[in-house]
Amino acid sequence: MFIFPENDLLWQLIHIFFTEVSVIIPVLHRPTFERAINSGWHLLDHKFGAIVLTVCAIGALYSDDPRVLVQDTKLTSGWTWFRQVRLVRSNFIEPTSVNELQLFCLAYIYLRQNNMYDSAWPLVGLGLRLAVERGIHCLKTGNSRTMESELCIRAFWILRSFDVVQGLTMGRPPGITSEDCDLDGVAECDDAYWDQTPHNEAFTQPVGTVSLLSFFTHYLKLIEIAASVQRLIYCVNEKGVSRQKVAKELNSDVERLVTFCP
């Protein structure tokens, strides 16, 4: 039932998404995503089709192609595809899928870029609740990290970062705190190296090659500092909180992180 962009525009918008957005917010695994589209999976599976439509909508925000507009204004970029997506399912009986969590991340990115913060806020909270229901907030993979587990971990940390940033921006409490989370960090391994290596080691970045995920992992460290500000500095109930002491400790944390960054 979905209406997708023409094939040339589809691939143009996908390329824009991965070069402009995914390098900062790594929601998807590009090789798997593109293989699925080449196989026509977006025409058969409505969950994956919704993700493709949302990726196209986000790519449209950075495109000068007139076909991305509904009306003669950039505010309507991508709306042709985003408005087809159903963001909340009719029931919550079925298990939460990776695609669903990814969709919440992508929908937030699109709505935020269109200054629809209030519309995006509930999606983050719902995404986090569904992730917790699945147990992703305490997901420990050990030596058995898989593509699905890595995508779940990415989606959770992205939703967590959105929760903190928008909470600070709009003066709202977080949906989940650091104390509630005990999952693996994002693997600093570029998408091209997720498959098994000749030595049978998955998710191994080649020695001497800096991963594009390095930015995201350091960004998440800053997010945790911001979460401390949100929890301790801007808390409603400030009993027992020495804001001056907390501010000093947080400044030290930022200085250490900045010193560590190359």
Give the residue with greater pLDDT, 148 vs 172: 148
How many whole angstroms separate alpha carbon 150 and alpha carbon 148?
Answer: 5
How many whole angstroms separate alpha carbon 9 and alpha carbon 81?
Answer: 12
- At residue 92, the pLDDT reads 84
pLDDT digits (tens, 9 = 90+) for 10-20: 999 999 999 99
Helix residue ranges per DSSP H, the chain:
7-20, 30-38, 46-60, 79-82, 98-113, 117-134, 147-170, 213-228, 243-260
How many residues are given for the chain? Answer: 262
Give the residue with greater pLDDT, 138 vs 251: 138
Give the CA radius of gyration of the chain: 19
pLDDT digits (tens, 9 = 90+) for 17-76: 999 999 999 999 999 999 999 999 999 999 999 999 999 999 999 999 999 998 888 888
How many whole angstroms separate alpha carbon 36 and alpha carbon 12?
Answer: 16
pLDDT digits (tens, 9 = 90+) for 69-122: 988 888 889 999 999 999 988 888 888 999 999 999 999 999 998 878 788 889
- At residue 257, the pLDDT reads 67
CA separation, residue 236 to residues 156, 175, 177, 231 (Å): 26, 15, 15, 9
- At residue 124, the pLDDT reads 95
- At residue 246, the pLDDT reads 63
Q: Minimum mean pLDDT among 67-71, 129-133, 251-255: which range?
A: 251-255
Does residue 242 have a pLDDT over 80?
no
pTM, 2 dp: 0.89
78: left (phi over 0), alpha (psi -120 to 50) or beta: left
How many whole angstroms separate alpha carbon 50 and alpha carbon 82?
Answer: 8
